[in-house]
Amino acid sequence: MDTFHRNRYLEAIGVDVWVRRPGGPLEALSVPERLETVSAQPAPLTPAALEAPEPVSADVEEPWQGLRTEILSCTRCSLHKTRTQGVVGVGPPRTDWMVIGEAPGAEEDRRGEPFVGRAGHLLDAMLRAIDLDRKTNVYIANVLKSRPPNNRDPKPEEVTAYLPYLMRQIALLQPRLMLAVGRIAAQNLLSTDMSLSRLRGKVHYFGELNTPLIVTYHPAYLLRTPADKRKAWEDLKFARSVFRQLTDRVGIDGHLS
C-alpha cells in the first residue's frame, strides 16, 4: 500500500500521522482534521479490497451452510434464550487471516454480523491499514456466537459450549494467522488468565493445527482509550510481519520451504 493510503487509514484509526507543513516543521494532523478527512471523503479501498471475491465451489460452501444452520438453531447454552439471533461470522469461506473477538454486542445481535457499529468501523480501518478487508481476505468471528445479556463476560459453561463451533470454523478456513482482539477472546483462546499487556507482542499457537495467534486490543476498548491506538498499530505491524515470515517460509502449495 502506498504512503498516502496508509496514512489515510492510520488517520481513520486515530493514530497520529506526522506531516510537513509547507515551509514549516513536522506537525501531527489534528483530530478535527482527521475527522473531516474521514467524513468528507471515504478512504479509498486498496487494490486488494477492490478485487472481487473468488468464486466459491460447492464443496467449500456446503460445510459452511451446515455450520451456519447449526449455529442459528443452537441451544447448547443458555444464551440462546436471550439472543435475537446467532452471529456466525463474516468473510470469505477460506482465507489466510482470521480475526476473533469476544461475543456479539447489541448491534451485532440485531444485525447478525460481527463487528458492526462504531467498533466495527474502527476494526475495518485497522484491518485496511494492513491491506485486509472483510469482504475479500479476512474472516471475522467471535468466540461466542450468541450475545451475553448486558454484554457480561462469558461464563465457563458458555465458553465450553462455543469451542466446537470455533474449531470447525478454523478447520474450514485453514487460516495461517489468527488475530485475537480483546482480553476475553485472548484469554479464552489461550486458556490463560494473563493480562492482555503480557499477551501482546508474542506469537502464540492455537489448537491442534498450532495456528499462530497474535493478540491486540478490542476496538471498543480503543474507542474508550484512544491513547492505546498507537500500541494497537504496533500489534498490527507485528502481525503483518509474522504473516510475511510465514508466507515466505511456506510455498504456495502450503509446504515449508
Q: Name the minimum Å distance from CB 143 to ligand SF4.
A: 9
Q: How far is the CB of 65 from ligand SF4 (least distance, A)?
A: 16
Nearer to ligand SF4, 144 or 177 (CB): 144
Which residue is listed with cell 495456528? 211
Min dist CB 108 to ligand SF4, Å, is 12
**Of 86 and 91, which has the nearer Cβ to ligand SF4?**
86
Closest CA to 211 of 172, 252, 155: 172
CB of 148 to ligand SF4, least distance (A): 8
Q: Which is nearer to ligand SF4, 77 or 98 (CB)?
A: 77
Looking at the Cβ atoms of 102 and 158, the one nearer to ligand SF4 is: 158
Question: What b-and-e string marks burial along 8-46, b requiring 16 or more CB atoms within 10 Å of the CB?
Answer: bbbbbbbbbbeeeeeeeeeeebeeeebeebbeeeebeeb
β-bridge partners, 207:
none
Rg of the chain on CA atoms, in Å = 19
Q: What residues make contact with ligand SF4 under the rule CB under 6 A?
A: 71, 74, 76-77, 79-80, 86, 144-146, 158, 161-162
CA angle (223 as vertex; 217, 227 as ends), nearest 5: 75
Shortest approach of ligand SF4 to residue 81 CB, angstroms?
Answer: 8
Residue 221: phi, psi to the nearest 5? -65, -40
**Nearer to ligand SF4 (CB atom), residue 97 or residue 162:** 162
